[in-house]
Amino acid sequence: MSAKCICLCSCRRNAAGNTIVTTPTCGASGVLPAVLMIMEDHFNLSKRAQRKGLLVAAAIGFIAKNNAGISAAEVGCQGEIGVATAMAAAMLAHAQGFCAKVVENAAEIALEHQLGLTCDPVGGYVQIPCIERNAIGAVKAWNASLIASNEFIDPHKVSFDTTVNAMLEIGKDMSCKLKETAMDGLAVCMVYC
Ligand code: SF4
């Protein structure tokens, strides 16, 4: 199942009042499954490696949630797709056997380049931009893991903690119109005809 299918499917089930389990949020639920798919289909990583990668992803999500936020209403989409991307990048790096420093760098690179991402769902729904944003998040996670595993480990100038802190500060400065309210950005600029 693609990131697009998982994201849309979970949103539909949620709307129908069913119980769903997603991470880090419902709207950003397509990133990790998409990267899990390439871990199995492309990298042929074992189930054990995938499970251990998921534990690392959980740790990254925990740090982001407890030190900044994973809710678009608090910090914008950087806290949803951004954190999902960081979780997936760390998961992929760990499952491939890279050391903790590379794993941290992967998460940091993934989140750093999602900083400032706003939440501006067209019509208040999660079709635009959220579905493609999940797919882009998966691609970015792969790229972040690739970059982290190919660059010099030390010194890496920006730590994951620093980037989480930056996300919090950017979130505080972000207009509430760009935090899940559909009052700005794509939500108001898109032409309906
Ligand atoms: S744009 Fe908003 S609703 Fe869509 S994925 Fe990002 S945070 Fe979720």
Q: What one-character DSSP code corresponds to residue 143? A: H
Give residue 31's pLDDT.
Answer: 98
What pLDDT is stored for residue 133 in this prediction? 97
Long-range interactions of 54-60: CB distance < 8 A, separation 24+: 54/91, 56/90, 56/91, 56/94, 56/103, 57/23, 57/32, 57/87, 57/88, 57/90, 57/91, 58/23, 58/87, 59/90, 60/86, 60/87, 60/90, 60/107, 60/160
Task: Report cis status (omega within 30 of 0) of the bond before 121.
Answer: no
* C-alpha closest to that of 140 among 76, 83, 179, 62: 83
> Per-residue confidence at 18, pLDDT binned at 50, 70, 90?
confident
Q: At what angle do helices 31-41 and 130-150 cross, to 10 degrees?
A: 50
Distance CA 31, CA 23 (A): 9
Residue 69 has what DSSP assignment? -
Beta bridge partners of 119: 179
pLDDT digits (tens, 9 = 90+) for 148-184: 999 988 778 999 999 999 999 999 999 999 999 999 9
Tell me how far the alpha carbon of residue 24 lies from the centroid of ligand 1, in angstroms.
12
- Res 1: pLDDT: 53
Provide Rg for the chain, Cα atoms. Answer: 16
Q: Which residues line ligand 1 (CB under 6 A)?
A: 27-28, 72, 77, 80-81, 119, 121, 126, 129-130, 133, 180
- Give 177 or 21, the one with higher predicted confidence: 177
Q: Is the pLDDT of residue 52 over 90?
A: yes
Task: Supply the pLDDT for residue 2.
Answer: 56
Q: How many whole angstroms separate alpha carbon 167 and alpha carbon 161?
A: 10
Domain ranges for the chain: 3-189
Mutate to test the pocket of ligand 1, among 78, 180, 186, 188 (most ligand atoms within 8 A of CB): 180
pLDDT of residue 15: 73
> What is the pLDDT, as a whole number, of residue 66?
98
Measured distance CA(86)–CA(31) in Å, rounded:
10
16 band by pLDDT with thresholds 50, 70 and 90: confident
What does the pLDDT read at residue 5? 59
- Beta-carbon contacts of 125 under 8 Å, excluding residues fewer than 6 positions away, are none
Report helix, strand or coil for 85.
helix
81-110 pLDDT, tens digit each: 999 999 999 999 999 999 999 999 999 999
What pLDDT sits at residue 182?
A: 96
Å from CA of 154 to ligand 1 middle: 34
Task: Name the pTM for this structure.
Answer: 0.93
